[in-house]
Amino acid sequence: MANPQSEAHGSSRDREIVAARVIVTCPGRNFVTLKIETRSGVFGAGDATLNGRELAVAAYLEHHVIPNLIGRDAGRIEDTWQFFYRGAYWRRGPVTMTAIAAVDVALWDILGKMAAMPLYRLLGGRSRDGVLVYGHANGRDIEEATAEVGRYISLGYRAVRAQCGVPGLKKPYGVSRLKDAYEPAESELPLETEWSTPGYLEIVPKLFARLRAEHGNEVELLHDAHHRLMPVEAARLARDLEPHRLFWLEDATPADNPDGFELIRRHSVTPLAVGEVFNSIWDSKRLIEGRLIDFIRSTIVHAGGITHVRRIADLAAMYQVRTGFHGATDLSPVTMGAALHFDTWAPNFGIQEYMRHCEQTDEVFPHDYLFRDGRLHCGESPGHGVSIDEKLAARFPYSPKQLPIARLEDGSMWDW
């Protein structure tokens, strides 16, 4: 059997991985990046950010991955993926799959640079001219959310996710205290928020009725229930939202037990999306094969990189399920760059989430993708087109932050 360390043809010496390092930085929010270098001096970058658990992935990479990377052939992307997946014995899980994703994306980046080709061409070329994205419109009440959707439309967005406050609840999901981008990981220890389903089920259909009355039918509207509902409540919401023709209802109920989605399906034709917390094809197999969802949201950074997400997308394509990658600000521009190349290629692409990063983040991660007419366009530079300015990154030290938790009125823990 061939020795993976010594493939006997011309440039394998050039492709040898000679260095890899983890960069943790907080330009507005925390990000973990893996940078891999070959003997010929080519660098690849992979995102390894797991919101609120950043240092667990950084330690996994530093202690358990990097020592195994040195000396390997950067061109053996599949073998490296299998090495870290099968070779660890302990499979799956968000920390492992995020670490594997960082390696995988960095290696695809290197391959693109060595081949002098943008990533989408390595995947099989362009399936579309641009990538339809949706932005986040949040408001403390229906009025504010309606105005926010209008603002997004005026910025050129063709699709907008809308969330609004729930009367009586102090801090519902999706509504920022400030007017800026919603950043839920706000404090060193989790912020305690409260949850109550009845008020939420009352207000959300009213919000969408108002949005359609004010903004018409052309704009695509989306909504995220953030795993808060029981299946029967989710079924009711999905049915109540039918007249407002949503592009999707996201995370209607936790998918730990996929059977819940059967109940929602039985009662409604509102399209369903799920999967931002999935990390493996096995999380979505039954949902996809049972045709219980319409969009799969597992994305590159948390689900094993391009190599694994391509398998998920191919499985989904067989059942007419489309992709709708997670793209909140806790996924770095490196993930956004890689995702946009993937979206440009994927035959069963549906939509891409796009929350703009702040200026500091954009400066630390120079990139060549751009927004035009409601779509994002990946660049033509080799690889995924996103790099990291390490000098600037060093000016923003890690700042511990965790996601909030939610409790019911009686103090019981609930899904945030």
Set 60, 134, 152, 173: catalytic member: 173
Rank residues 47 and 224 by Cβ distance to Mg ion and give the closer one.
224
Strand partners, 67: none
173 is catalytic: yes
Rank residues 220 and 224 by Cβ distance to ligand KDG and give the closer one.
224
353, 355, 360: which is closest to 399 by C-alpha?
Answer: 360
The item of ligand KDG, Mg ion, none sharing an interface with residue 328, based on CB under 5 to 8 Å by kind, is ligand KDG
Closest approach of ligand KDG to the CB of residue 220, in Å: 15
| Sign of the four-CA dihedral 281, 34, 57, 337 | negative
Set 223, 226, 308, 326: catalytic member: 226
Alpha-carbon distance of 14 to 105, in angstroms, equals 19
CB-CB neighbours of 296 under 10 Å: 30
Rank residues 111 and 234 by Cβ distance to Mg ion and give the closer one.
234
Determine, following the binding rule CB under 5 A, whether residue 224 of this chain makes contact with Mg ion. Answer: yes
From the list 77-85, 100-108, 221-229, 375-383, the region that binds Mg ion by CB under 5 A is 221-229
Alpha-carbon distance of 121 to 123, in angstroms, equals 5
Closest approach of ligand KDG to the CB of residue 7, in Å: 39
182 is catalytic: no
Determine, following the binding rule CB under 5 A, whether residue 73 of this chain makes contact with Mg ion. Answer: no
Determine, following the binding rule CB under 6 A, whether residue 181 of this chain makes contact with ligand KDG. Answer: no
| Sign of the four-CA dihedral 357, 109, 37, 84 | positive
Helices 197-215 and 231-241, packing angle to 10 deg: 20
Which one of residues 184, 260, 350, 385 is an interface residue with ligand KDG (CB under 6 A)?
A: 184
Closest approach of Mg ion to the CB of residue 47, in Å: 18
3-state DSSP assignment of residue 249: strand
Binding mask 268-287 for ligand KDG (x = CB under 6 A): --------x-----------
Binding mask 342-371 for ligand KDG (x = CB under 6 A): -----------x------------------
Binding mask 280-319 for ligand KDG (x = CB under 6 A): ----------------------------------------
In DSSP notation, 320-373 reads: T-EEEE---TTS-HHHHHHHHHHHHH-TTEEEEE--PPPHHHHHHS-B--EEET
| Amino acid present at 277 | V
102, 68, 97, 71: which is closest to 83 by C-alpha?
Answer: 68
- Residue corresponding to tokens 């969802």: 293
Alpha-carbon distance of 321 to 283, in angstroms, equals 15
Residue positions annotated with a catalytic role: 173, 226
Residues that bind Mg ion (CB under 5 A): 224
* Residues at the site binding ligand KDG, with contacts judged by CB under 6 A: 51, 184, 224, 226, 276, 326, 328, 330, 353, 403
